A and B are shown apart, each in its own frame.
Chain A
Amino acid sequence: MISFIAKRLAQSVLVMAIVSAVSFSLFNFVGDPVNNMVGQDATREQRLEIRDKLGLDDPIITQYSRFVGNILQAEFGLSYRIKRPVDDLIVERLPATLELVFVSAVISLFFGIVLGIYTGIKRNSWISRVILSTSLAGVSLPTFVIGIGLIYLFAVHLRWLPSSGRSGVVELGWWKTSLITLEGWRSIILPAITLSLFQLTLILRLVRAEMMEVMRTDFIKFARARGLTERAINFRHALRNTLVPVITIIGLNIGGLVAFSVVTETVFQWPGTGLMFIQAVNFVDVPIMAAYLVFVALLFVIINLIVDILYFVVDPRIRLGG
């Protein structure tokens, strides 16, 4: 157990080292950091002073270790464009993204697992066929097209829901939430559905495949031979064994949702970290790009680590075999 976790930890550290090196080189190779901080008419002396202050003449190793030191203290410097500390910006916009991802995760996991189990058990019913064909269409629909379609239908045509932005925000300490007002729910529902659809189809197909796999195993055949009811077979025996991979699915799901929140937030002008990242890329705002990269990588490393450990805890085959 300990050696397993140690191995995983070592890999996570490696990932973070590589990602931080990439994000460090962003600062050095994308544009001139001094030019990005001073105006056009800065004198040579001012430029040299800033160079000196930033330590740009130090050896690359010294600079890198200073960079890593800063990251460990969540210190990413000032945004070139907004001139505010990047970590403040991220903390400010994080609740919007996390709430969006949370609502989408609930939607996609609930419907994905329920529909996946249904289509896995009733393989040949026409409802299953319809659900499956629709799910293949879902994989082919780019997230932003779904978003535009929903906006056109519910905001432009029917005028039921707002087309963009995040309203009904209430402050709970430093956390600004939009989940406790009706107005907030009205504004989160379209982006959340948009974000969840692709993941929903993925989960549906994975759970279905897993369910069909389990239904073929000997212990299910044996349960049938013993004359157990369909209900007992499906829910007591089959479902339990499909739930182990569902843990991995949840991990993948949250990762995918965070990634595609960039697209969804742009379509709906949702004021989260993803929208901030896209704007930063547009304006080559290196500190935000670098910070977002490190932040997302860290998130993924943590998710993967938790998934691995949970897998280990839940599945006795891995625990005893490994």
Chain B
Amino acid sequence: MNHLDENPMTRWKRFKDNDIVWSFLSSPGAMIAAVVASVMILACIFAPMIAPFDPFDPAQISLWDGKLPPTWVDGGQSRYPLGTDNQGRDMFSTILYGGRLSILVGLAAVCLGMVLGVTLGVIAGYLGGVTDAVIMRLADVQLTIPGILLAILINGIGRAALPYELRDEFAIYVVILAIGLTDWPQFARVARGATLVETNKEYVQAARIIGLPSWLIMFRHIVPNTLRPILVIATIGLALAIISEATLSFLGQGIPPTTPSLGTLIRVGNDYLFSGLWWITLFPAVALIVLVFSVNLLGDWLRDALNPKLR
């Protein structure tokens, strides 16, 4: 047994005195955001266990129950707390499953962008010279065009390249690819900047002198030291990716209505808004906004907490 286990108090104290944990515990906004975000994310992950209905199972859907308002409105049924959509699917369950898809696509897209961006950024920063110039020019060129347009375009090309029958089936991967390829330059810029700082430090010099290969220095030694600023961008990037997915789906370019994401649900609901069926749009929209808002708040707090200037 080592001495840390003998005294749990010191261990807890050390954890509490960690600057990030301390900043977290002294910022009520960040704590509320963290709670809201985790509850939503967990609820969506465990959707199959929580949701009263399975919206993908035709046996559980009845068109007779279509367009029912929420429970507390006249004509609502207690079986469907948030009402039903045009096809008779329980809104509450559909939102849980939809949120699951939105979060999944968001996370996957951010991971893709992060891996791509950090890899290219670290390579550019470490190798310098022509490699650096080519990679960063490419990032500059891509940043000239706003992300959402590029995502629409990549997504459109991806869909067009697929045979018609496969489009719906692969839609989710195309969307992930489109959003991930759109946000790598942000990661590349930050990773490159951090790499330039790290490369001049003694541990990298030492690693060079003992003859480690470049790739090992880059990915074993430099990458872990660039992760703090990357984490901030990844959090804000997650909020943006969820919005991008929702926007693509809303434009009819993203996730198909058979397996709806939050954006698809809002799009479908929008068609019924004029006939007064407000709940089909409102609840998915509220879920989307609360999710993105809490992730944004977390990102904001993280940026301040990790910024040495503000400490």
Are A and B bound to each other?
Answer: yes
Chain A interface residues toward B at CB < 8 A: 11, 14-15, 18-19, 26, 29-31, 136-137, 139-145, 148-149, 151-152, 156, 163, 255-256, 258-260, 262-263, 266, 277-278, 281-282, 284, 289, 293, 296-297, 300-301, 304
**What is the distance, in angstroms, from A59's C-beta to the closest C-beta of chain B?**
24
- A residues in contact with B159, CB < 8 Å: 284
- A residues in contact with B253, CB < 8 Å: 278, 281-282
Assess whether A297 is in contact with B144, with CB atoms less than 8 Å apart.
Answer: yes
Assess whether B153 is in contact with A289, with CB atoms less than 8 Å apart.
Answer: yes
**What is the distance, in angstroms, from A69's C-beta to the closest C-beta of chain B?**
22
Assess whether A136 is in contact with B146, with CB atoms less than 8 Å apart.
Answer: no
Q: A293 with B160: in contact, given A142-B246, A148-B266, A259-B146 (CB under 8 Å)?
A: no
Q: A139 with B161: in contact, given A151-B273, A289-B156, A304-B144 (CB under 8 Å)?
A: no
**With A and B bound together, what is the CA distance between A266 and B141 in angstroms?**
27
Assess whether B145 is in contact with A296, with CB atoms less than 8 Å apart.
Answer: yes
Assess whether A284 is in contact with B289, with CB atoms less than 8 Å apart.
Answer: no
- Beta-carbon contacts under 8 Å, B206-256 to A: 239, 243, 246-247, 250-253
The answer to whether B157 has its CB under 8 Å from any CB of chain A is: yes
Contact with A along B275-311 (1 / 0, CB 8 A): 0101001000100110011001100100000000000
Assess whether A293 is in contact with B148, with CB atoms less than 8 Å apart.
Answer: no
- A residues in contact with B250, CB < 8 Å: 142, 144, 263, 266
**What is the distance, in angstroms, from B205's C-beta to the closest C-beta of chain A?**
31
- B residues in contact with A142, CB < 8 Å: 243, 246-247, 250, 288-289, 292
**What is the distance, in angstroms, from A76's C-beta to the closest C-beta of chain B?**
16
**With A and B bound together, what is the CA distance between A258 and B281 in angstroms?**
26
Assess whether B141 is in contact with A15, with CB atoms less than 8 Å apart.
Answer: yes
- A residues in contact with B266, CB < 8 Å: 144-145, 148
Nearest opposing residue in chain B for A143, CB measure: B247
**With A and B bound together, what is the CA distance between A165 and B251 in angstroms?**
17
- B residues in contact with A140, CB < 8 Å: 239, 243, 289, 292-293, 296
Chain B: interface secondary structure?
helix
A selection of 25 A-B contacts at a CB cut-off of 8 Å is A11-B137, A15-B144, A18-B141, A19-B145, A30-B160, A140-B289, A142-B246, A151-B273, A156-B273, A156-B276, A256-B146, A258-B146, A259-B146, A259-B147, A260-B148, A262-B148, A263-B148, A263-B250, A277-B152, A278-B152, A278-B253, A281-B156, A284-B156, A289-B156, A301-B144
Contact residue among A29, A136, A262, A282 (Cβ-Cβ distance under 8 Å from B293): A136
Nearest opposing residue in chain A for B243, CB measure: A142
- A residues in contact with B160, CB < 8 Å: 30-31, 284
The answer to whether B169 has its CB under 8 Å from any CB of chain A is: no
- B residues in contact with A152, CB < 8 Å: 273, 278, 281
The answer to whether B140 has its CB under 8 Å from any CB of chain A is: yes
**With A and B bound together, what is the CA distance between A293 and B293 in angstroms?**
31
Assess whether B144 is in contact with A156, with CB atoms less than 8 Å apart.
Answer: no
Assess whether A29 is in contact with B141, with CB atoms less than 8 Å apart.
Answer: no
- Nearest first, the 6 A-B pairs at minimum CB distance are A259-B146, A281-B156, A140-B293, A284-B160, A140-B292, A30-B160
Q: A148 with B273: in contact, given A26-B157, A142-B246 (CB under 8 Å)?
A: yes
Chain B interface residues toward A at CB < 8 A: 137, 140-141, 144-149, 152-153, 155-157, 159-161, 239, 243, 246-247, 250-253, 266, 270, 273-274, 276, 278, 281, 285, 288-289, 292-293, 296-297, 300
**With A and B bound together, what is the CA distance between A122 and B300 in angstroms?**
21
Contact residue among A14, A137, A148, A266 (Cβ-Cβ distance under 8 Å from B281): A148
**With A and B bound together, what is the CA distance between A281 and B254 in angstroms?**
12
Q: A282 with B252: in contact, given A30-B160, A31-B160, A142-B292 (CB under 8 Å)?
A: yes
Q: A29 with B243: in contact, given A18-B141, A136-B296, A289-B153 (CB under 8 Å)?
A: no
**What is the distance, in angstroms, from A65's C-beta to the closest C-beta of chain B?**
21
- A residues in contact with B148, CB < 8 Å: 259-260, 262-263
**With A and B bound together, what is the CA distance between A304 and B273 in angstroms?**
40
Assess whether A136 is in contact with B141, with CB atoms less than 8 Å apart.
Answer: no
**What is the distance, in angstroms, from B248's C-beta to the closest C-beta of chain A?**
10
Besides the known contacts A142-B292, A144-B247, 4 further A-B residue pairs in the complex with CB atoms under 8 A apart:
A140-B293, A149-B285, A163-B274, A281-B152
Assess whether A263 is in contact with B247, with CB atoms less than 8 Å apart.
Answer: yes
Nearest opposing residue in chain A for B240, CB measure: A139
Q: A136 with B300: in contact, given A152-B278, A255-B146 (CB under 8 Å)?
A: yes
Nearest opposing residue in chain B for A261, CB measure: B149
Assess whether A263 is in contact with B251, with CB atoms less than 8 Å apart.
Answer: yes
Assess whether B296 is in contact with A139, with CB atoms less than 8 Å apart.
Answer: yes
- B residues in contact with A297, CB < 8 Å: 144-145
**With A and B bound together, what is the CA distance between A304 and B278 in angstroms?**
42
**What is the distance, in angstroms, from B232's C-beta to the closest C-beta of chain A?**
15
Nearest opposing residue in chain A for B300, CB measure: A136
Contact residue among B140, B147, B288 (Cβ-Cβ distance under 8 Å from A145): B288
Nearest opposing residue in chain B for A255, CB measure: B146
Nearest opposing residue in chain A for B294, CB measure: A140
Nearest opposing residue in chain A for B149, CB measure: A259
Assess whether B137 is in contact with A14, with CB atoms less than 8 Å apart.
Answer: yes
- B residues in contact with A19, CB < 8 Å: 141, 145
Assess whether B252 is in contact with A148, with CB atoms less than 8 Å apart.
Answer: no
Assess whether B274 is in contact with A156, with CB atoms less than 8 Å apart.
Answer: yes
**What is the distance, in angstroms, from B31's C-beta to the closest C-beta of chain A?**
16
**With A and B bound together, what is the CA distance between A293 and B144 in angstroms?**
12
Nearest opposing residue in chain B for A256, CB measure: B146
**What is the distance, in angstroms, from B34's C-beta to the closest C-beta of chain A?**
16
- B residues in contact with A145, CB < 8 Å: 266, 285, 288-289
Task: Determine which residue in A19, A26, A139, A144 has the highest number of CB atoms from chain B within 10 A of its CB, and name it.
Answer: A144
**With A and B bound together, what is the CA distance between A258 and B146 in angstroms?**
9
